[in-house]
Amino acid sequence: MSQMPVRVVVHYRDPDGPTETLAAAYRRAARDLAGTPGLLGHELLGAIDGDGRFALLMAWRDLASYRAWERRLRAAGHPSPLRKFQDRTRPGGHYEVYVVHDADYPAADAAGAADPLSQPSG
């Protein structure tokens, strides 16, 4: 399983603040994540009902890469600008890790990319 791609979903909540506050924190976090070994990409998703729920979807090459990053983050004291927005009210915790068992990305396949998040945007 360690060589299979994984996705990490981190849940955030900002019910009182403007969306721009969390989005600005995401942009700072994105700069911090740039060049992280094994990180293929990430997206900030917002709930369509506008209730202040967000999710960060992170695509990792494999579980080992994610765990190595997580160890470095923990050792550094979890300095993410998004930390204060973590939704710790969720049953089961504020984040989840999933292994990608199967996927179908026709556009990525046509471009010759193994993962749609590894393609340059354009």
pLDDT in tens, 59-70: 999 999 999 999
Domain ranges within the chain, ordered by starting residue: 6-118
Do residues 54 and 44 make contact, with C-beta atoms less than 8 angstroms apart? yes
Sheet holding 6-13, edge to edge: 39-46, 53-60, 6-13, 95-99
DSSP state, residue 120: P
Q: Give this prediction's pTM.
A: 0.82
Closest of 22, 65, 17, 74 to residue 44, by C-alpha: 22
pLDDT tens, residue by residue, 98-119: 999 888 877 766 777 666 665 4
What CATH code is assigned to 6-118?
3.30.70.100
